[in-house]
Amino acid sequence: MNKSRLITSLLGICTFTAVTTLPLFGAGSGQIPTPASGPQAKQANPAIKAYNEGVDLMQGKQFAKAQAKFEEAVKLKPGFAEAHNNLAFTLRKGGPQNYQLSMEHYNKAIQLNPKLAEAFMYRGVLYAIMGRKPEAQADLTVLQKLNPHYAKELEDFIKTGKENDELLGAAKKLSS
């Protein structure tokens, strides 16, 4: 075999190997992901953005405006337990005409996240306000296991009927 035939054969083998194996390395990978850039990169999840704006408004005691933000968050993400919980809180702050709807949102929050201590605390407060002490006590019992601090807050409310402003601090912002 002369030198040029050997080179041609080697080139043929290399070409064949490249053509048959290189596609395997990219099989199923689709487009190569690239880091997001521009305004979209900094855009938060719209439901979380609305929720966090609601938390700010709620902590500023602007309950009607906060309610609108939590309604937006729930509409964008129906399974958002924290948004249901805070929507229920702001509804309750709107007065007795909202208590039933508030209760529905607390129940939904607890259904979605049975370990959401804030929902048990806030619902327990609403039960107490509505004169439903056995239900408030039941939420207190759950809270004693989930979050002793919130359990103490609810216990104090059941005894005194006075809501501590610290309860507003139970609403925490979320990251997207």
- 97 and 129 fall within a common domain: no
- 106 and 122 fall within a common domain: no
Mean pLDDT of 48-70: 94
Q: How confident is the model at residue 69 (pLDDT cuts 50, 70, 90)?
A: very high
CA distance 94 to 68: 12
Q: Is residue 49 part of a domain?
A: yes
pLDDT at 43: 52
Count Cβ atoms below 10 Å from residue 40 Cβ, excluding itself.
7
- 76 and 108 fall within a common domain: yes
Q: Is residue 5 part of a domain?
A: no
Q: What angle do CA 116, 121, 123 make, to 5 degrees?
A: 95
Mean pLDDT (the chain, rounded): 81
41 vs 137, more confident = 137
- 155 and 102 fall within a common domain: no
- 108 and 60 fall within a common domain: yes
Query: What is the percentage of the chain residues whose pLDDT exceeds 70?
Result: 68
pLDDT at 171: 63
Q: Is residue 7 part of a domain?
A: no
- 91 and 55 fall within a common domain: yes
Number of domains in the chain: 2
Q: Which domain holds residue 145?
A: 115-160
Helix (H) or strand (E) holding 100: helix 99-112
Report the CATH number that the domain containing residue 106 is assigned in CATH.
1.25.40.10
Q: Is residue 77 part of a domain?
A: yes
Instruction: Give φ, ψ of 17 to 5 degrees.
Output: -60, -45
The answer, yes or no, to whether residue 98 has pLDDT greater than 60, is yes
- 60 and 102 fall within a common domain: yes
- 137 and 88 fall within a common domain: no
